[in-house]
Structure 1
């Protein structure tokens, strides 16, 4: 894939842009195998390839420029906006929406936030597209001051962007390098974006994490279901459960599944999905994964972990090592921390593993492994 933004040095976020995709995928496979070599993986399944472009279902864009000429993209080293509305890794739905959103910024007089002077209101646009082409649009603002204008002009936005199901304002008053704040004001009647993957529909609320690459997320969850089906666990935990992707996919009416996630919004999303699917043996709760495990009376047959880049850490790894759990399904977005965690669990051997290319054009990838107690 070639990108004019990358070639012109306007955006270098995709560090592998221009490299042949087959070479990218092979390098990721080699890296995963090197890191997990000390643990004797039983079977390496072929890496799951992604489409090279159009793969992102979530665009996290910085707003710069002026209210009459806004940029939607990134900031340069001096804090000036670089417009990336034609970004090739964003979905076609994103690219169609960006010009409409730029016009709306001008109409609603949402002054872009200037990092140097700390003035202005609109900091970021976060746009998520569902597999059905519906959108969630979030305006990250410095304060609530623009909310009346957002509400006033919302009908115009919805008329020009009919696929926008959820529109909200996120409030981020602090001047710091984070994407969003704590408070969210939903402006539309609909408050969730249905994300239909395989035969499971997840209801995504604002501030809920969801895998960035829809096609690869589908493959990941389907593979997890296949690996687990033969184990037939009586009970399973899905730690770091997010909006419930793994838990909802392995729910079969026989296994009792508990999902634990720190994000209250994600838990609300997962519970709505569970209720909608009428799954009586699945439940979700807000909490810390490690604290939940350490406070449990006993371990289940299966523990699923899908932690952030830092991994599960020594405390949870140590608990899993000493527990009676017969299997652990570990999905990792950082093979370095995965290897560190595996070293702390020598009684759990990886019997199979697979790379899923969640992030083409970058060095990042997802790797899932099934661990079995020796």
Structure 2
């Protein structure tokens, strides 16, 4: 007979960044994902380690003193947000303390930082990727997000408060349209069906919304009829484009084998720091526009006076940071491995009349090997996994006096800062921006200076 798993009711004693709750069962630590300090939760022990237990939260028995009635209907079922039960100032203080513990335990003297609030803590997202599916086998078609801890269940996210009303209008109308037509969703286990994803993107600074429908090639999604329905919706903004893509890939990711523009333009135009950026459906762009503007403001300030300096922008993406810095620097060299991102960066630089920026398409490791003259300053904005371990010594060997590290993952950031410290660079200033309210994610800007000259 299988050994029955222990269920216990425990207090949440601490939550470490980003969502690692801790308690004690007897004298042994218990670790689980989620929770808020001060809650009392029911957990199931899933693994018994020598020094601690691993567990999962089954339910919240007693809320923490700083929790409130949740203003978001799908919260609890949806796997997106974590801190909907907190008032925003308390959420900021809570995340700031988690970051302070993370930095202190990593031996970094960064205790004087402040977590800057997002300009908007509701309806801040300019992009949503919804999935078609159902909440239970044989249930009605849903268009929404994955259920927490149950990846194959898709829940209706009506009442989500981090998206604006136009997103909800389009999502609900799409769900109703395809429910009426009886077109099946794509089954991720059997790889059968038609409807896969709906991506909605909007501009904060222009009246623009683009809808991107992704289906398999296994049936007719009635694109023309669906397009007519979209164009008759009453929106606060303006629907400027509709794109349909075929995706026959096995993975549950938003990707396109074949794309067709049904009407309008597929691109969104966004304005940051007075510069225009055209964003194609495949391009990465920060999902909180006003938060991104604040983040880049902190990055520019960290760079200091650039009037006679050459800046290298590594992991540049579509060149957003580099183009903002180009107005302050002598010249900026942008390095990015993805050809489509380099193409978009060049087009945006031309659109903005930027002439002191140069673009290199290639891997950071290779580009740094070919570098002849050291830049005055290097900006790095790597993906969540951080900087490749082989790239850190290459960056350090350039001899640049300063490095500005823009990070979307404080955990990999502290690891990379420790590696840079071994190469003679010390973190001297940090700014944190709460780019994604109600979630555990935080963006940081760190200035490092060379100390072994």
Aligned to 1:142: 216
Q: Relative to 1, partners in 2 of residues 1:194 and 1:105: Cα closer, same or farther, differing over 3 Å? A: farther
**Structure (1 or 2) with the greater strand fraction:** 2
Structure 2 residue matching 1:119: 3-state secondary structure: coil
Alpha-carbon contact 1:358-1:365 (below 8 Å) kept: yes
Distance 2:303 2:92 in 1: 26
Alpha-carbon contact 2:170-2:230 (below 8 Å) kept: no
Query: Relative to structure 2, which stretch is displaced further, 162-171 or 319-328?
Result: 162-171
Aligned to 1:29: 96
Distance 1:145 1:292 in 2: 46
Aligned to 1:373: 450
Q: Relative to 1, partners in 2 of residues 1:263 and 1:94: Cα closer, same or farther, differing over 3 Å? A: farther
Distance 1:283 1:144 in 2: 44
Q: Which has the higher contact order (CA 8 A, sep 6+)?
A: 1
Structure 1 residue 344 displacement after superposition: 1.2
Aligned to 1:284: 359
Structure 1 residue 104 displacement after superposition: 5.0
Alpha-carbon contact 1:200-1:249 (below 8 Å) kept: yes
Structure 2 residue matching 1:81: 3-state secondary structure: strand
TM-score normalised to the size of structure 2? 0.74
In the TM superposition, 1:184-223 aligns within 5 A as 184-223=259-298
Structure 1 residue 159 displacement after superposition: 4.2
Alignment match of 2:403 (pick from 313, 318, 328): 328
Distance 2:230 2:183 in 1: 13
Alpha-carbon contact 1:170-1:183 (below 8 Å) kept: yes
Aligned to 2:170: 97
Q: Relative to 1, partners in 2 of residues 1:198 and 1:105: Cα closer, same or farther, differing over 3 Å? A: farther
In the TM superposition, 1:97-246 aligns within 5 A as 97-105=170-178, 111-131=184-204, 132-143=206-217, 146=220, 149-151=222-224, 153-160=226-233, 163-181=238-256, 183-246=258-321
Q: Deviations over 1:232-289 (max 9, x none)?
A: 3521121121222201111127521122223333222222211111111113343222
Alpha-carbon contact 1:122-1:140 (below 8 Å) kept: yes
Structure 2 residue matching 1:222: 3-state secondary structure: helix
Distance 1:211 1:100 in 2: 26
Alignment match of 1:62 (pick from 126, 131, 143): 131
Distance 2:146 2:126 in 1: 21
Alpha-carbon contact 1:305-1:328 (below 8 Å) kept: yes
Distance 2:445 2:241 in 1: 32
Which sections of structure 2, spanning at least 5 residues, go unmatched? 1-69
Distance 1:224 1:164 in 2: 33
Structure 1 residue 28 displacement after superposition: 2.4
Q: Deviations over 1:134-158 (max 9, x none)?
A: 11221122238647x4256535423
CA RMSD of superposed structures (Å): 2.7
Q: Relative to 1, partners in 2 of residues 1:170 and 1:74: Cα closer, same or farther, differing over 3 Å? A: same
Q: Relative to 1, partners in 2 of residues 1:65 and 1:370: Cα closer, same or farther, differing over 3 Å? A: same
Structure 2 residue matching 1:63: 3-state secondary structure: strand
Alpha-carbon contact 1:32-1:355 (below 8 Å) kept: no
Aligned to 1:272: 347
Q: Relative to 1, partners in 2 of residues 1:104 and 1:266: Cα closer, same or farther, differing over 3 Å? A: farther
Distance 1:63 1:83 in 2: 10
Q: Relative to 1, partners in 2 of residues 1:16 and 1:281: Cα closer, same or farther, differing over 3 Å? A: same
Structure 2 residue matching 1:339: 3-state secondary structure: helix
Q: Deviations over 1:73-120 (max 9, x none)?
A: 124438343111431111333123223333554688754212243221
Aligned to 2:27: none
- Answering whether residue 144 of structure 2 is matched by residue 73 of structure 1, we say yes
Aligned to 2:19: none
Of structures 1 and 2, the larger Rg is shown by 2
Q: Relative to 1, partners in 2 of residues 1:281 and 1:12: Cα closer, same or farther, differing over 3 Å? A: same
Structure 2 residue matching 1:212: 3-state secondary structure: coil
